[in-house]
Amino acid sequence: MAATVSVAATARLHLGFLDMNGGLGRKFGGLGLSLDAPATRLTLARAEENSVEGPESARGAQLLARAQAALAPGAAHALTIHEAIPAHSGFGSGTQLALAIAAALRRLEDLPHDSAADAALMSRGARSGLGAGLFVTGGVVVDGGRGPGTLTPPVIARSAFPEAWRVLLICDPTCVGLHGADEREAFVALPPSSAAESGELCRLVLMQALPALAERDLAAFGAAVARIQEIVGDYFAPKQGGRRFTSAKVEAAVGRLSREGATGGGQTSWGPTGFAFVESEAAAREMVARIEAEARAEGLAISIHKGLNSGARIDAVYAQVASR
């Protein structure tokens, strides 16, 4: 059995829900992308009593206790969180932390890996299966939404994100995305979307975004994401101050990126982080050089990222038996 296990799980972008109507018996569904950063990195080892250190330690302690109760009852562990994805920024931080802890515990206790079961166990994936799917595969995935008997929404499609393309992120540190009880209330309060809107969203994914990824067509992919963001942004606007974006500053910055030649601009999940896509590292650097001063003056941070086409990294260290 392993002596220690380390897990690195990276952020994801939630590019939009597909069906807020539910008329076919399933609801939500979504399109998501893994990024190369930011990341959650942690190490788990056996111990005489539980201990948790590092960022998000309070949250980590609760998640560890939940995982232990189901996967290793009566055992104690030392959890060190070396780095954590920023919370409530639209990156899926809670899901990645939960899945990383559960995966580390499974590996430490020599149990089979099962991220879909872990998402249900850790009360993640109530509306989206993207976090669990991307934890395993990376890339771009589509989840099939939640039906009457669904535990974790299943991944129904997966594509690699082109290596040359880049993602520009715009972050507003003064805002946080809707979460917790406020998020749950928002989903209860918002009425079902129209069947026509859901139909358009699904068509955009199946007949534009995914084929564009297969053919490395950034213009078509960006156009699909931009339209998805318009529809989803308008649906959630009543819970975002009447806007498509949580942060008006981020919305303005994403608009500037689009005018400068980026494509597919939008907000991940409830934000406040915005994003846009460009065709290369060189194009990304040139665009950042043009808008970075203005962004900083507004208190925003802009960064360049790659898509990540692999899942979480799980590394085990095994104790060595001294030779005689």
| pLDDT tens per residue across span 9-34 | 999 999 999 999 999 999 999 999 99
* Three-point CA angle 186, 130, 278, nearest 5°: 100
pLDDT band at 183 (very low <50, low <70, confident <90, very high): confident
Task: Output the pLDDT for position 320.
Answer: 58
Quote the mean pLDDT of the chain: 95
| pLDDT tens per residue across span 220-275 | 999 999 999 999 999 999 999 899 999 999 999 999 999 999 999 999 999 999 99
Bigger pLDDT: 318 vs 310: 310
Question: What are the backbone dihedrals phi and psi of residue 23, each rounded to the nearest 5 degrees, phi first?
Answer: -65, -20
Summarize the confidence of residues 209-217 as an average pLDDT. Answer: 98
Residue 162 has pLDDT above 90, yes or no: yes
Residue 323 has pLDDT above 60, yes or no: no
Report pTM. Answer: 0.93
pLDDT band at 148 (very low <50, low <70, confident <90, very high): very high
Summarize the confidence of residues 44-67 as an average pLDDT. Answer: 97
| pLDDT tens per residue across span 97-123 | 999 999 999 999 999 999 999 999 999
Task: Output the pLDDT for position 259.
Answer: 95
pLDDT band at 145 (very low <50, low <70, confident <90, very high): very high
Q: Strand, coil or helix: what is 317? A: strand
Summarize the confidence of residues 49-60 as an average pLDDT. Answer: 97
Q: List the one residue out of 111, 139, 101, 129 whose CA is nearest residue 29.
A: 129
pLDDT band at 324 (very low <50, low <70, confident <90, very high): very low
Task: Output the pLDDT for position 53.
Answer: 97
Summarize the confidence of residues 179-186 as an average pLDDT. Answer: 85
Q: List the one residue out of 89, 78, 9 whose CA is nearest residue 41.
A: 9
Q: List the one residue out of 184, 188, 201 whose CA is nearest residue 142.
A: 201
The number of C-alpha atoms within 13 Å of 248 and in the hemisphere containing its C-beta is 2
Q: List the one residue out of 84, 86, 46, 83 whose CA is nearest residue 68.
A: 46
